[in-house]
């Protein structure tokens, strides 16, 4: 009489079994510390099967099938470790499969069972590791399914929060409860906010999330929290200028304006005491625009020597925001630093380059954070190692007063 090939494997500490064929299990298989199922490997079971992974881990890089065709005995997952599988299929027609500990699925868990899957532990759908991770339930599921929600990006302003689910349980109904928090710790239910989307006017900095529950399983999971901040009245893309035969030509551009009243051009001879020389009304209808708007102003009577300019934006409630300072001169038509604010990496270019005898970078508290007394040529600055904030670049030259420019490190 010929019998089918059957393997009963007991793995002890510091051993690993790598399989490249069909592993048929009768009775129990102990995996300590690691049982790895490689691609092109199928694990099937007959009779009463137990997969116990103790304090180790069951790692599946292929497809784990429990158990195809007629099946008369239960399959039990158990142990103190966590089993991680790419794909798992429950195909038995009779009996009950039981999860006594955590089964983590990075691909798809499919329940084609006519009988029950008892999740005394948890079936963990790892959409945090794979966006396509999913649960398809064509059978009867009792117990707990845990799944992570697709993460949303932090943003500001009014925002329609996406609630893409990583778990799709047949016959279940998803319920929503939006919550807010001032500290991302203590959460409060928002009255009446029980729909798939929630829209609110942001008047202060708050965190928001949505608590999702299902009706036919014990699934419950909050979304990733999102911090919403009160939008700035105006988003300034740049403020720069250059000397021309007609005078100092200044230009700036905004990406967005909210309740903007006007701009003021201020000028100074020492970068300390400023006077207003012009008021430019907002081009936005009613002071509101989500389109880029470009402005210019010609100072036809600049001061002798270096002229320092800054832009003051005033919104409708009187709140003012000042730009960085730029320096222009008829004598030497000094260089321009751009972009300002600097890039996300803290970099900016100076054109044309400046021949200097010394330069300093000074923080908002008046401290010198970088300096050099060795003459050279300065064609750019990098503030990547410094924290976000406002800095003053002071460059000593051989042919005139010091060149100063206020820089913003985002």
Distance CA 192, CA 196 (A): 12
Out of 228, 250, 271, pick the residue that ends a domain.
Answer: 228
CATH classification at residue 236: 2.60.40.10
Q: State whether 279 and 369 are in the same domain.
A: no
pLDDT digits (tens, 9 = 90+) for 330-374: 665 557 777 878 887 788 888 778 888 999 998 877 788 999 988
Pairing of strands 206-214, 220-222: antiparallel
Q: State whether 182 and 205 are in the same domain.
A: yes
Question: How confident is residue 67, by pLDDT bands cut at 50, 70 and 90?
Answer: very low
Residue 278 confidence (pLDDT):
96
Distance CA 128, CA 410 (A): 29
Residue 90 lies in a domain: yes
Distance CA 305, CA 203 (A): 45
Closest CA to 141 of 165, 114, 163, 159: 114
Structural domain total, the chain = 4
- Domain that includes residue 113, residue range: 16-147
Q: State whether 324 and 341 are in the same domain.
A: no
Residue 156 lies in a domain: no
Residue 161 lies in a domain: no
CA angle, residues 358, 359, 362, in degrees to nearest 5? 150
Residue 184 confidence (pLDDT):
74
Q: State whether 218 and 258 are in the same domain.
A: no
Residue 293 lies in a domain: yes
Residue 295 confidence (pLDDT):
94
pLDDT digits (tens, 9 = 90+) for 271-295: 888 999 999 999 998 888 888 889 9
Residue 138 lies in a domain: yes
Residue 153 lies in a domain: no
CATH classification at residue 360: 2.60.40
Q: State whether 143 and 72 are in the same domain.
A: yes
Tokens 């551009």 -> residue: 253
Lowest mean pLDDT among 1-10, 43-52, 148-157, 371-380: 1-10
Q: Which residues of 129-139 are buried (b: 16+ CB within 10 A; e: fewer)?
A: eeeebbbebeb
Q: State whether 25 and 113 are in the same domain.
A: yes
Residue 205 lies in a domain: yes
**Which residues 6+ apart lie within 8 Å of 343 measured at CB?**
410
SS3 state at 84: strand
Out of 309, 332, 355, pick the residue that ends a domain.
Answer: 332
Residue 9 lies in a domain: no
Residue 32 confidence (pLDDT):
40
> What's the sign of the alpha-carbon dihedral 379, 383, 388, 392?
negative
Query: Which range, 41-50, 219-228, 294-303, is most confident?
Result: 294-303
**Does the global pTM surpass 0.85?**
no
Does 385 have pLDDT greater than 80? yes
Distance CA 140, CA 153 (A): 35
């Amino acid at each position: 009489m010929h019998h089918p090939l059957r393997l009963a494997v007991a793995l002890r500490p510091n051993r690993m079994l790598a399989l490249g064929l069909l592993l048929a299990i009768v009775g129990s298989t102990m995996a300590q510390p690691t049982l790895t199922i490689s691609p092109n490997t199928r694990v099937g079971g007959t009779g009463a099967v137990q997969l116990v992974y103790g304090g180790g881990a069951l790692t599946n890089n292929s497809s784990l099938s429990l158990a195809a065709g007629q099946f008369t005995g239960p399959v039990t997952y158990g142990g103190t470790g966590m089993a991680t599988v790419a794909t798992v299929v429950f195909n038995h027609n009779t009996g009950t499969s039981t999860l006594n500990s955590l089964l983590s699925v990075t691909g798809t868990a499919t329940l084609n069972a006519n009988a029950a899957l008892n999740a005394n532990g948890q079936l963990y759908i790892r959409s945090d590791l794979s966006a396509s991770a999913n649960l398809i339930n064509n059978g009867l599921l009792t117990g707990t399914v845990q799944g992570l929600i697709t993460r949303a990006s932090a943003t500001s302003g009014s925002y329609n929060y996406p609630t893409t689910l990583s778990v799709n349980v047949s016959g279940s109904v998803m319920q929503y409860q939006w919550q807010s928090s001032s500290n991302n710790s203590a959460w409060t239910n928002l009255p009446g906010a029980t729909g798939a989307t929630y829209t609110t006017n942001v008047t202060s900095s708050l965190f928001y999330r949505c608590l999702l529950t299902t009706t036919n399983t014990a699934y419950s999971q909050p979304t990733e929290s999102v911090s919403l901040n009160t939008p700035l009245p105006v988003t300034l893309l740049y403020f720069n200028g250059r000397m021309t035969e007609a005078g100092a030509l200044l230009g700036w551009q905004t990406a967005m304006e909210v309740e903007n009243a006007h701009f003021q051009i201020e000028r100074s001879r020492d970068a300390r005491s400023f006077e207003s020389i012009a008021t430019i009304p907002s081009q936005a209808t009613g002071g509101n625009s989500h389109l880029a708007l470009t402005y210019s102003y010609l100072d036809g009577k600049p001061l002798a020597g270096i002229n320092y300019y800054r832009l003051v934006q005033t919104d409708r409630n009187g709140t003012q925001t000042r730009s960085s300072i730029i320096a222009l001169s008829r004598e030497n038509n000094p260089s321009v630093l751009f972009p300002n604010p600097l890039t996300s990496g803290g970099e900016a270019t100076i054109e044309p380059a400046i021949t200097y005898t010394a330069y300093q970078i000074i923080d908002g508290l008046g401290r010198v954070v970088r300096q050099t007394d060795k003459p050279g040529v300065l064609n750019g600055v990098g503030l990547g190692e410094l924290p976000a904030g406002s800095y003053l670049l002071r460059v000593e030259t051989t042919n005139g007063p010091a060149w100063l420019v206020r820089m913003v490190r985002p």
